[in-house]
Amino acid sequence: QQQVKQSPQSLIVQKGGISIINCAYENTAFDYFPWYQQFPGKGPALLIAIRPDVSEKKEGRFTISFNKSAKQFSLHIMDSQPGDSATYFCAASTDSGTYKYIFGTGTRLKVLA
């Protein structure tokens, strides 16, 4: 019940296209859902995050869509650029206890020029 399932494992998108990465969870106590971007040799960097009281959050070209009833959330990268090529991790956390993150297994995105 603590798992966060992420798909796809890898994704190739043409420049200018839309990249979509999906995550699903079981634990209804989760109430914070961040997305992290990681470049090779670097630590993960917070990209965007959402709480379950909203269904969508947009920051620039990055949008999180959240479906509470389905226990799913997704990251959409509009107008994908070669510089977006990285590994993306979704995560979930709860406000009880440690706030530790449960991470998805990651999606390696490659945007072709």
Partner 1 sequence: GAGVSQSPSNKVTEKGKDVELRCDPISGHTALYWYRQSLGQGLEFLIYFQGNSAPDKSGLPSDRFSAERTGGSVSTLTIQRTQQEDSAVYLCASSLRLAGAYEQYFGPGTRLTVT
Least distance from C-beta 47 to partner 1, angstroms?
A: 11
Q: What residue ranges bind partner 1 (CB under 8 A)?
A: 6, 32, 34, 36, 41-46, 49, 89, 91, 93, 95, 97-106
Least distance from C-beta 85 to partner 1, angstroms?
A: 17
DSSP label of 42: S
Residue 111, judged by CB atoms within 10 A of its CB (0-12, 13-18, 19+), counts as buried
Least distance from C-beta 113 to partner 1, angstroms?
A: 25
> Considering beta carbons, is residue 69 or 98 the nearer one to partner 1?
98
> Considering beta carbons, is residue 17 or 38 the nearer one to partner 1?
38
Among positive and negative, which fits the CA dihedral 105, 43, 109, 17? positive
Q: Which two tokens stand for residue 98?
A: 């440690």
Cβ atoms 21, 74 nearer than 8 A: yes
